[in-house]
Amino acid sequence: MASKAQNWTYIGLVAVSFSVAMVAGWRWSPLARRFDHYWYDLLTVDSPPLRVEPQSVVVAIDEATFEARGGVAEIRPILAEALDKIAAAKPQVVAIDVILHDASRDAARDARLEASMRATPNLVLAADLAGSKWEEPLDRFKTLAAAVGHVEREPDADDGVSRDLPLEEIANGERKWALALEAFRLARRQPIVESPEDLEIGGVRIPAPRKDGIRPLLIRYPPEGIPKVSVLEIAEHPEKIRGKVVFLGETAVSAARDRLVNPLGLNVPGVEVNADLFETLAGGQFLVYADDIEILAACAGLALAAGLMIRFLPGWWSLAVIPVLGFVLYFPRLEYRHGIVFPLFAPAAVAFLTSITAATYQYLFVRRELRRSESERSRYQQAIHWAAHEMRTPLTAIQGSSEIMSRYNLPEAKRHQLSEMINSESKRLSRIIQTFLDVERLADGQMDLKRELVDAGALVTSCVARVTPLAERKQITLILDNAVEGSLLGDRELMEYAFYNLLTNAVKYSPGGTEVHVFSKLGQSSSELRLAVRDQGIGMDAKEVKQIFRKFYRTKRAEASGEVGTGIGLSIVEQIVTQHGGRIDVTSVPGKGSCFTMVLKASRAASAQDEATASLS
Ligand code: ADP
């Protein structure tokens, strides 16, 4: 089970990766912008606008026209000729994408053009920005125009692709609508109704909110382009012009003032981009950018979904996060079809970063849990080994005694001795089982140590008494060097187990005829009691001393001595002593003997009663 702290760490990590991905993936990052532009262009190719009959036509002043009419210098006579022919074909509106700001040196040319303009109804002329000022048509032309629209195009600053056009531009305090918008207004014969959010012309709502003083509108380029007629061919194709909105301008590569690249990757002359904008307005299939709040919410939703899935779906099911990543790709396409331009970079960055962070955390977390449960299992196994080993001795004694009792006719005194032995050994058995369970629960952190006052003297005496038969068998003398004073605070059973273990080890690892000394020392402030067991046995070198508290460790010397052991007793002793807030000191010399000292918290009072009295006085 994950702890509360782990849950918070997880939530924190997912939140941090979400924030990092958002900051790195928002449109202020050039990489994100480039990426999303490219993505937009792919969507544009993928989902072109519905095909409708074009309502506009480009009358092209192309290479052939310049060639036939004497080049760029002849632009005004060319325009005059074109206007005359166009007017004859009866168009709805004529927009000229040529800036007619300067007077010709030859006044007759301007007069001729003026005359042609006068004969052209619904004429829209072009203005553009020269620095911060409008470059307007000459007054003699302007007065003949139904409108003057700007032909400012602002290709993307990052990659030069022309994705949108400003419907509105303001310079020198004077606002101008785009040439195509003016043409559209004239074609519909309706005024432009504006609000900060959109424009409306004859019931068509154009979603172009004002941003930084302009109203950019994404252009929906028809893949098949806009129909074109060369100036030289107008007379042969009047039907291409009749009733249409005409955009007249230069398309010749050598002369075109501006050629633009559109998202379809096509190189188009500026005049055609105006017609594309007009078709976008006329077609009514507008594209708008997704709201920032919407993007943020979608990204947060993704982070949440990835975080929850990886956290709560078991095992391989958490791979269900992959379709979520797939959705990141699918969603913008869906939105695009509904006219909303949704970015890819930020959601993709969020989805990937949060999933990777969450999955890595989960992996490390699961691995740690696995390791823990493995070490727990092996610890449990060791404890079982220990218990089985410890139980063997009393069981053998019980078994032997009971067999002797049943097989032989023994004198009363002997029977009594044997039944006493059976009784005490079975008690020992039950103590071993109890210790085993206690140590298990202690290691599990399930058990609060008992905190009772234990008379140290009584504890030592009882352990010494239990070991004496063992010592006698090996002709080892057990000597209590001084009277043990003071009380220990803790669990009697466990501390007894620990001290008993030191004593049996001392006897086990000493040859016959030696002595085992037990002595104690109460610290000056009586807060510490040192209980020591010193033998004259096989001893250990410094390297071995360092290892003996490890489970299952046995020195070569001990193995050679012929004593059987499990190598687990001291590890439990150490666990008990440290759980009691104490420690064990060991000094040993190979072949000379060892001294094990338990240093425990103590009190001078000998019983709980005394303790209470002591604390009162
Ligand atoms: P066991 O005695 O069952 O092997 P312990 O954990 O009690 O397990 O002891 C670990 C090892 O430490 C022993 O196998 C022995 O090599 C060494 N050891 C413990 N006590 C003594 C001692 N008094 N003298 C020499 N070696 C000892």
Closest ligand 1 atom, residue 571 Cα: 6
Mean pLDDT across 144-170: 89
Task: With a cut of 90, say whether residue 218 has pLDDT above it.
Answer: yes
Whole-number Å distance between alpha carbons of 21 and 336: 23
- Classified as helix, coil or strand, 371 is helix
Q: Ligand 1, atom 21: nearest CA belongs to which residue?
A: 505
Ligand 1 center from residue 251 Cα (angstroms): 100
Q: Ligand 1, atom 10: nearest CA belongs to which residue?
A: 567
Closest ligand 1 atom, residue 558 Cα: 16
Whole-number Å distance between alpha carbons of 252 and 553: 94
Ligand 1 center from residue 216 Cα (angstroms): 86
Whole-number Å distance between alpha carbons of 182 and 280: 14
Which residue do the tokens 């095909």 mark? 51
Q: Ligand 1, atom 20: nearest CA belongs to which residue?
A: 505
Whole-number Å distance between alpha carbons of 276 and 261: 13
Task: With a cut of 70, say whether residue 444 has pLDDT above it.
Answer: no
Ligand 1 center from residue 488 Cα (angstroms): 25
Looking at the chain, the number of H-run helices and the number of E-run strands are: 18, 25
Q: Which residues line ligand 1 (CB under 6 A)?
A: 501, 505-506, 509, 535, 537-540, 548, 553-555, 558, 565-571, 594
- Tell me the pLDDT tens digit for each residue of 288-314: 999 999 999 999 999 998 899 888 887
Query: Is the separation of the CB atoms in 192 and 182 below 8 Å?
Result: no
Query: Is the separation of the CB atoms in 260 and 140 below 8 Å?
Result: no
Closest ligand 1 atom, residue 535 Cα: 23
Whole-number Å distance between alpha carbons of 533 and 611: 27
Mean pLDDT across 505-523: 94
Q: How confident is the model at residue 446 (pLDDT cuts 50, 70, 90)?
A: low
Q: Ligand 1, atom 14: nearest CA belongs to which residue?
A: 554
Mutate to test the pocket of ligand 1, among 390, 509, 546, 584 (most ligand atoms within 8 A of CB): 509
Distance (Å) of CA 58 to CA 114, 384, 609: 21, 94, 111
Q: How confident is the model at residue 445 (pLDDT cuts 50, 70, 90)?
A: low
pLDDT score for 208: 93
Query: Is the separation of the CB atoms in 330 and 281 below 8 Å?
Result: no
Mean pLDDT of the chain: 89
Mutate to test the pocket of ligand 1, among 439, 505, 549, 589 (most ligand atoms within 8 A of CB): 505
Whole-number Å distance between alpha carbons of 354 and 305: 10
Task: With a cut of 90, say whether residue 175 has pLDDT above it.
Answer: yes
Q: Ligand 1, atom 23: nearest CA belongs to which residue?
A: 506
Whole-number Å distance between alpha carbons of 170 and 148: 13
Determine which of 85-94, 218-227, 284-293, 317-326 has the lowest per-residue pLDDT on average. 317-326
Ligand 1 center from residue 380 Cα (angstroms): 21
Distance (Å) of CA 9 to CA 15, 362, 599: 10, 11, 40
Q: Ligand 1, atom 3: nearest CA belongs to which residue?
A: 565
Whole-number Å distance between alpha carbons of 465 and 455: 16
- Tell me the pLDDT tens digit for each residue of 29-88: 999 999 999 999 999 998 888 888 999 999 999 999 999 999 888 999 999 999 999 999
Task: With a cut of 80, say whether residue 259 has pLDDT above it.
Answer: no
Ligand 1 center from residue 442 Cα (angstroms): 23
CB atoms within 10 A of CB 412: 7
Whole-number Å distance between alpha carbons of 598 and 584: 5
Closest ligand 1 atom, residue 506 Cα: 23
Pure H helices in 26-94: 30-46, 63-69, 75-88
Query: Is the separation of the CB atoms in 178 and 150 below 8 Å?
Result: yes
CB atoms within 10 A of CB 258: 17
Determine which of 329-343, 432-446, 554-568, 574-588 has the lowest per-residue pLDDT on average. 432-446
Structure tokens at 111: 């007069």
Mean pLDDT across 498-512: 94
Sort 51 into a burial class: Cβ within 10 Å, 0-12 / 13-18 / 19+.
Answer: exposed
Whole-number Å distance between alpha carbons of 596 and 499: 10
Ligand 1 center from residue 554 Cα (angstroms): 6
Whole-number Å distance between alpha carbons of 123 and 186: 9
- Tell me the pLDDT tens digit for each residue of 449-472: 788 999 999 999 999 999 998 899
Query: Is the separation of the CB atoms in 102 and 130 below 8 Å?
Result: no
pLDDT score for 536: 97
DSSP 555: -
Ligand 1 center from residue 504 Cα (angstroms): 9
Q: Ligand 1, atom 26: nearest CA belongs to which residue?
A: 539
Closest ligand 1 atom, residue 572 Cα: 6
